[in-house]
Amino acid sequence: MKGLSILGSTGSVGVQTLDIIRTYPDEFDVVGISANSNYETLTQQVREFSPSLVNCNSFPKSFEESLPKTTRLGSMNEMAKAMEVDILVTATTGYASLIPTFQALEHGKSIAIANKESIIMAGQSLIDYARDHKASLYPIDSEPSAIWQCLRGEESPIHKLIITASGGPFRDTPLEEMANASPSEALRHPTWNMGAKISVDSATMMNKAFEVIEAKWLFGVEWDEIDVVIHPESIVHSIVEFQDGSSKSQMSHPDMRLPIQHALFYPRRPLNPNLTRFDPSVAANLTFQALEPERYPCFSMALNFAKRGETWPSALCGADEGAVQAFLKGKISFKEIPLVIESALNSYEPKSDPSLEQLTEAFDWGATKVRDLSGLED
């Protein structure tokens, strides 16, 4: 039985992770779970899974009083490195999982990682730290998981990684209508059921830029060895092209539980009767098209800043978080999201060879700068 701690257990990925555990109760023991402020859902999860550690950033006194004697409050760092933990699932947004991830790696834990910011902000230092401590990073986002699965057993050089994107809710929307899209429209993803932040990032294609950055570090490739194509059906999750011209893709019904399960059980592939299977005999046509730069200005803008290295990617992550918050609260329009991010970052002064503290400071700078430009109060 594997011991798990789940950071962000009340969010979309966290809830689906617990659904996998519910399907295989004899395979996993939930050691710790954490949430930001959703203590009601966290309370229900404590009752069902009986973790020994629980963490919540904001809760009433009644929450602590309701905890069973076998469960106590603990920090995310504590649940990341607990002796009973074999796998840490990082399903938070922002940099809340950054230091716990390094703590877990230091203690040789495997990381099932959905938190993009940890990879984007720490980059090669995270990869090196995992290698030095003989620990593993298992991606549980569908696209990097697909690449990981395509590379299993391969020793041939990679020619290209091709990451697919649904195109989000505005894939076919006229540009003039898209410019003034409302938050409710941006949250209406055509394929995936996700949280608000990642749904808006999918609409702007910032999320896909983040996945390109992830892929660079996770798979050790150059920037020009990664492409992105629009694939509306979300069946092909990524493609790996090898130097001889052969390509491999990972295909499945769009369900986050599959890549989560793959990471938790790796290298096994057990049968899950609750997952819908992809049937090519009844599937619609699979289509692909080029990404339109004018439709998704966040994509190229984000990569331009990320390629600068140092603390630029951290500031980018923070600026995006601030812009999404401002958009969701009606302070800026949809078309202003890339404009306010770029305006903020144009005044940024990066730090070289940064510490973890400097990475988080850069994130906070970006978020604060965008909030100030947008007139959004903390």
Residue whose C-alpha is closest to residue 230's, from 276, 176, 295: 295
Q: What is the pLDDT of residue 281?
A: 84
| 173-202: average pLDDT | 88
* Pair 114, 141: CB distance under 8 Å: yes
Q: Distances from the Cα of 322 to the Cαs of 270, 271, 312, 332, 376, in angstroms?
A: 40, 41, 15, 11, 9
pLDDT > 80? residue 199: yes
Distance, CA of 8 to CA of 14 (rounded, Å) = 6
Mean pLDDT of all residues in the chain? 95
Distance, CA of 148 to CA of 152 (rounded, Å) = 6
| 345-355: average pLDDT | 96
141 half-sphere exposure, CB direction, 13 A CA radius: 26
Q: What is the pLDDT of residue 190?
A: 76
| 207-216: average pLDDT | 97
| 271-295: average pLDDT | 91
pLDDT > 70? residue 378: no
Give the architecture (CATH level 2) of 308-378.
Answer: Orthogonal Bundle (1.10)
Q: What is the pLDDT of residue 282?
A: 80
* Pair 101, 88: CB distance under 8 Å: yes
| 134-152: average pLDDT | 96
pLDDT > 90? residue 192: no
Domain boundaries, the chain: 2-139, 142-254+276-307, 308-378
Query: 351 Cβ partners below 8 Å, 6+ apart?
Result: 310, 311, 358, 362
| 223-243: average pLDDT | 96
Q: Distances from the Cα of 321 to the Cαs of 84, 315, 341, in angstroms?
A: 34, 10, 9
Token digits for 182?
Answer: 């409302």
Look at phi and psi of residue 269 and say left if phi exceeds 0, alpha if psi is from -120 to 50, else beta: beta
Is cis: bond before 297, omega within 30 of 0?
Answer: no
Q: Distances from the Cα of 131 to the Cαs of 108, 121, 124, 128, 173, in angstroms?
A: 10, 18, 11, 5, 44
| 194-217: average pLDDT | 94
pLDDT > 70? residue 151: yes
pLDDT > 80? residue 258: yes
Alpha helices in the chain (DSSP H): 12-23, 39-49, 61-66, 76-81, 98-106, 116-122, 124-132, 142-151, 175-178, 183-186, 196-204, 206-219, 257-265, 297-306, 312-328, 336-345, 356-374
Percent of the chain exceeding pLDDT 70 equals: 100
If 0-12 CB within 10 Å is exposed, 13-18 middle and 19+ buried, where does residue 24 land?
Answer: middle
Positive or negative: CA dihedral 150, 258, 77, 350: positive
Q: Amino acid identity of 149?
A: Q
Distance, CA of 98 to CA of 105 (rounded, Å) = 11
Distance, CA of 304 to CA of 308 (rounded, Å) = 7
Indicate the CATH number of 2-139 among 2.60.40.10, 3.30.2310.20, 1.20.1050.140, 3.40.50.720.
Answer: 3.40.50.720
Residue whose C-alpha is closest to residue 159's, from 248, 262, 240: 240
Q: What is the pLDDT of residue 195?
A: 80
Give 268's pLDDT tier (boundaries 50, 70, 90): very high
Residue whose C-alpha is closest to residue 324's, from 355, 347, 357, 298: 298
| 66-83: average pLDDT | 95
Residue whose C-alpha is closest to residue 104's, from 17, 7, 198: 7
Give 350's pLDDT tier (boundaries 50, 70, 90): very high
Least confident of 7-16, 105-114, 179-188, 245-254: 179-188
Percent of the chain exceeding pLDDT 90 equals: 91
Q: What is the pLDDT of residue 191?
A: 76
pLDDT > 90? residue 112: yes
| 89-95: average pLDDT | 95
